[in-house]
């Protein structure tokens, strides 16, 4: 066993160091012997393998977001975007992550709630292989109660009563609701699935090898790397900010399907001005136009899947799905009331 461990570690020292989840060659190198890797007796070996990339844990986490859903198979109704991160390897082999960021969530009582949140969680990290596809698990072991500060409540009535009423611990009701929401989300942990072609999926909880989160668009070319594939529920005057990390030399293919309303807008904005736009969305009841010229700004009508391929410089971006009158070329149609848009979307690399 010692000789096997040494041989694997020498090979993975070359194949695995550049990413927390591994470059595409990392899972492929491991996939030659999934039975050995998946053996419950080899947890320490798997932790040694993951340790090669855990130095990039924060970079990986900050390039993504935590979707907020009412249940696993439901569309996203909000999102937490980490803006700060601190990572530390613990003596017991766990990974401690302290995150801070902002986000938003929609409820029928409050409409949009914007917030700032932060907290620390110790994760038991492990992975399993399904062929050459890697399932990386983050199982929470301990956590500090998340800090949650409500920055805006869109409904003025909910904002008034939420600010006046107090939870038993003295928190404002809106802050207590948000803290409970974040605690429940973080307590579930998450799974990141990495395919050999570079596709990455993320889902809450423990996703067993071979299973996948519910996709937004199920007809994708599986030979091409997928950056995002999900669904968002956008009520009137709402938008969703989906972080993307684009490597050098790649073109993006955006695919979007709309149901429930006549049209929504699809925008692609660089991360820096997008962060400022997100901040305005999470702190102001009134929506605002983009803070910079979008690279893509097109309406998508209900019906057939819309598709567009664009070349962009490498870097971080937001795909913004918009159902407001203050961005894009369309506006929520009169007479639809609060009928939500169900937006299915996917982003592939060409």
Residue 223 lies in a domain: yes
In tens, the pLDDT along 43-91 reads 665 565 566 556 677 887 888 888 988 888 899 999 999 999 998 888 8
Q: How confident is the model at residue 338 (pLDDT cuts 50, 70, 90)?
A: confident
Query: Residue 46: its pLDDT value, please?
Result: 57
Q: What is the C-alpha separation between 20 and 30, in angstroms, rounded?
A: 15
Same domain, 150 and 264: no
Whether residue 237 is predicted with pLDDT greater than 80 in this model: the reply is: yes
In tens, the pLDDT along 185-231 reads 777 888 888 887 878 888 888 899 999 888 999 888 878 889 999 99
Distance of CA 99 to the CA centre of its chain: 14
Q: How confident is the model at residue 323 (pLDDT cuts 50, 70, 90)?
A: very high
Residue 129 lies in a domain: yes
In tens, the pLDDT along 142-163 reads 877 778 888 888 887 655 445 5
Same domain, 57 and 145: yes
Same domain, 101 and 143: yes
Residue 204 lies in a domain: no
Same domain, 259 and 168: no
Same domain, 84 and 46: yes
Across the range 104-131, mean pLDDT stands at 87
Residue 221 lies in a domain: yes
Residue 235 lies in a domain: yes
Residue 336 lies in a domain: yes
Q: Do 116 and 149 contact (CB within 8 A), yes or no?
A: yes
Point out which residues pair with 269 in neighbouring strands.
318
Whether residue 32 is predicted with pLDDT greater than 50 in this model: the reply is: no
- Collapse the DSSP code of 76 into the 3-class scheme (helix H, G, I; strand E, B; otherwise coil) and give the result: strand
Whether residue 108 is predicted with pLDDT greater than 80 in this model: the reply is: yes
- The region, left, alpha or beta by phi > 0 then psi within -120 to 50, assigned to residue 325 is alpha
Same domain, 182 and 234: no
Residue 276 lies in a domain: yes
Q: What is the C-alpha separation between 261 and 302, in angstroms, rounded?
A: 7
Q: How confident is the model at residue 283 (pLDDT cuts 50, 70, 90)?
A: very high
In tens, the pLDDT along 239-273 reads 999 999 998 888 999 999 999 999 999 999 999 99
Q: How confident is the model at residue 5 (pLDDT cuts 50, 70, 90)?
A: very low
Give the position of tokens 């790397």.
Answer: 225
H or E stretch including 136? Answer: strand 133-143
267's tokens: 């925008």
Same domain, 171 and 51: yes
Provide the residue range defining the domain that includes 154.
Answer: 2-192
Q: Say what percent of the chain tops pLDDT 90.
A: 40
In tens, the pLDDT along 42-56 reads 566 556 556 655 667
- Collapse the DSSP code of 36 into the 3-class scheme (helix H, G, I; strand E, B; otherwise coil) and give the result: helix
The structural domain count of the chain equals: 2
Same domain, 188 and 219: no
Query: Residue 182: its pLDDT value, please?
Result: 76
Q: What is the C-alpha separation between 170 and 7, in angstroms, rounded?
A: 57
250's tokens: 């790649």
Same domain, 182 and 315: no
Q: What is the C-alpha separation between 277 and 51, in angstroms, rounded?
A: 36
In tens, the pLDDT along 128-138 reads 888 878 888 88
Query: What CATH number is attached to the domain comprising 225?
Result: 2.60.120.680
Residue 104 lies in a domain: yes
């Amino acid at each position: 066993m010692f000789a096997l461990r040494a041989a694997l570690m020498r090979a993975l020292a070359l194949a695995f160091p550049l990413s927390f989840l591994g470059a595409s060659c990392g899972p492929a190198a491991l996939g030659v012997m999934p039975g050995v890797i998946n053996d419950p007796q080899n947890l320490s070996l798997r932790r040694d393998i993951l340790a090669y990339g855990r130095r990039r844990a924060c970079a990986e986490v900050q390039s993504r977001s935590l979707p907020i859903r009412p249940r696993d198979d439901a569309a996203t109704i909000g999102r937490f975007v980490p803006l700060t991160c601190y990572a530390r390897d613990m003596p017991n082999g766990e990974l401690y992550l302290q995150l801070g960021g902002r986000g938003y969530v929609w409820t029928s009582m409050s409409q949009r709630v914007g917030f700032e949140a932060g907290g620390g969680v110790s994760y038991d990290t492990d992975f399993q292989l399904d062929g050459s596809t890697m399932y990386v698990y983050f199982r929470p072991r301990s956590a500090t109660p998340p800090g949650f500060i409500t920055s805006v409540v869109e409904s003025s009535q909910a904002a008034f009563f939420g600010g006046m009423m107090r939870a038993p611990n003295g928190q404002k009701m809106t802050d207590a609701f948000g803290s409970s929401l974040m605690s429940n989300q973080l307590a579930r942990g998450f799974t990141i699935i990495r395919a050999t072609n570079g596709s990455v999926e993320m889902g809450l909880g423990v996703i067993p090898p071979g299973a996948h989160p519910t996709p937004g668009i199920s007809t994708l070319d599986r030979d091409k790397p997928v950056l995002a594939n999900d669904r968002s529920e956008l009520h009137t005057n709402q938008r969703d900010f989906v972080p993307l990390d684009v490597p050098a030399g790649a073109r993006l293919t955006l695919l979007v399907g709309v149901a429930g309303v006549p049209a929504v807008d699809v925008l692609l904005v660089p991360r820096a001005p997008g962060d400022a736009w997100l901040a305005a969305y999470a702190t102001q009841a009134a929506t605002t136009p983009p803070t910079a010229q979008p690279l893509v700004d097109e309406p998508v009508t209900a019906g057939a899947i819309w598709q567009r391929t664009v070349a962009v410089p490498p870097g971080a971006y937001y795909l913004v799905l918009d159902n407001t009158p203050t961005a894009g070329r369309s506006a929520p149609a009169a007479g639809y009331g609060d009928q939500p848009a169900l937006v299915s979307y996917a982003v592939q690399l060409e």
